[in-house]
């Protein structure tokens, strides 16, 4: 028997809409669940005190510092490399085998699981180069992980700068580099910043790559060579070893809130940027 198309469509629509509703519900449920149990734990002292007794009491101050230090280290390394790559691909060359290889490399790097980055960072930075478990090892490992994101978003930002900007700049007698630094980069900046912030989110949430390269020391880090525990690692250890559920929820709430903040800022920036050129 053939179902009339209109009837079929009505039926399918109900099914698809309910599946969409379930998906959105599940995703929102996760955030709501964490925030409902975590927000009551949050207080100023939770954010500003160091953890005591392995995190059973006290706050999460040193893990916040650790997270920021690792993220800053990763950005300091990956941003120049990523933006440089994007400038080269977009301004200094044309589509060729070389650019295809570079893009393919970046795509592959983006797909590599974080645990492989962890293994690699452990053997190269921690063992072979002798940095030990440290902010340096962890930051470099994270830098490699976020490099593809920065390359791709910067490239998109550069590509969206109108062609006429380049033509005008060159016709006024600027060199290519003057054109890039004075015209292209300033116009593409919001787009590039978007990519950088997106990578901040990724660094904050990363666990597997960090735990084997930055270690899990709870002390406040004092130098690039100190081992340091990030918020995600702290949360993982608290939850997995059942040290303190309230503190685990509290840490998770801080994590989720910072990720949401990062994403909202990115989204806003991206929209302003897109509006500007369309």
Q: What are the residues whose beta carbons fall under 8 Å from the beta carbon of 73, sequence distance 6 or more? A: 135, 136, 138, 139, 140, 142, 143, 224
Contact 217, 228 (CB under 8 A): yes
E strands, the chain, in order: 51-52, 57-58
- Between residues 69 and 237, which has the closer beta carbon with respect to other proteins? 237
Handedness of CA 111, 113, 119, 121 (dihedral sign): positive
C-alpha span between 183 and 189 (Å, rounded): 10
Report the residue number, 96 or 223, with the smaller CB distance to other proteins: 96
Least separation in angstroms between residue 157's CB and other proteins is 16
Name the residue nearer to other proteins (CB basis): 46 or 236: 236
- Residue appearing with tokens 């040290």: 243
Q: Shortest gap between Cβ of 141 and other proteins (angstroms)?
A: 10
Q: Which is nearer to other proteins, 43 or 175 (CB)?
A: 175
By CB atoms closer than 10 A (0-12, 13-18, 19+), residue 215 is: buried
Q: How far apart are CA 201 and CA 71, in angstroms?
A: 9
Q: Which residues does residue 57 pair with via DSSP β-bridges, in sequence order?
A: 52
Minimum Å distance from CB 276 to other proteins? Answer: 18
Least distance to other proteins, CB of residue 125, Å = 11
Q: How far is the CB of 250 from other proteins (least distance, A)?
A: 13
- Least distance in angstroms from the C-beta of 169 to other proteins: 14
- Please, which residue, 43 or 178, has the CB nearer to other proteins? 178
Of the pair 14, 189, the CB lying nearest other proteins is at: 14
């Amino acid at each position: 028997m053939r179902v009339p198309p209109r009837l079929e469509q009505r039926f399918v629509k109900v099914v698809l809409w309910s599946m969409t509703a379930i998906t959105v519900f599940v995703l929102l449920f996760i955030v709501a669940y964490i925030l409902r149990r975590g927000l009551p734990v949050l207080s100023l002292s939770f954010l500003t005190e160091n953890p005591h007794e392995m995190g059973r009491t006290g706050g999460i101050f040193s893990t916040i510092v650790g997270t920021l230090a690792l993220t800053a280290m990763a950005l300091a390394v990956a941003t120049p490399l990523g933006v440089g790559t994007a400038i080269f691909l977009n301004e200094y060359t044309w589509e060729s085998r070389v650019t295809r290889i570079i893009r393919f490399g970046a795509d592959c790097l983006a797909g590599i699981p974080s645990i492989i980055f962890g293994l690699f960072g452990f053997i190269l930075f921690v063992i072979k180069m002798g940095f030990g478990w440290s902010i340096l090892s962890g930051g470099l490992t994270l830098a490699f992980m976020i490099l593809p994101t920065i390359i791709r978003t910067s490239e998109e930002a550069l590509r969206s700068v109108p062609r006429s900007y380049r033509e005008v700049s060159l016709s006024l007698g600027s060199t290519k580099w003057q054109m890039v630094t004075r015209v292209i980069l300033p116009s593409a900046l919001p787009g590039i910043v978007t990519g950088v912030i997106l990578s901040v989110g990724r660094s904050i949430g990363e666990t597997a790559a960090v735990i084997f390269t930055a270690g899990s020391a709870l002390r406040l880090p004092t130098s690039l060579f100190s081992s340091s525990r990030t918020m995600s690692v702290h949360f993982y250890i608290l939850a997995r070893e059942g040290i303190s559920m309230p503190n685990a929820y509290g840490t998770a709430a801080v994590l989720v809130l910072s990720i949401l903040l990062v994403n909202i800022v990115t989204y806003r920036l991206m929209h302003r940027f897109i509006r500007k050129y369309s």
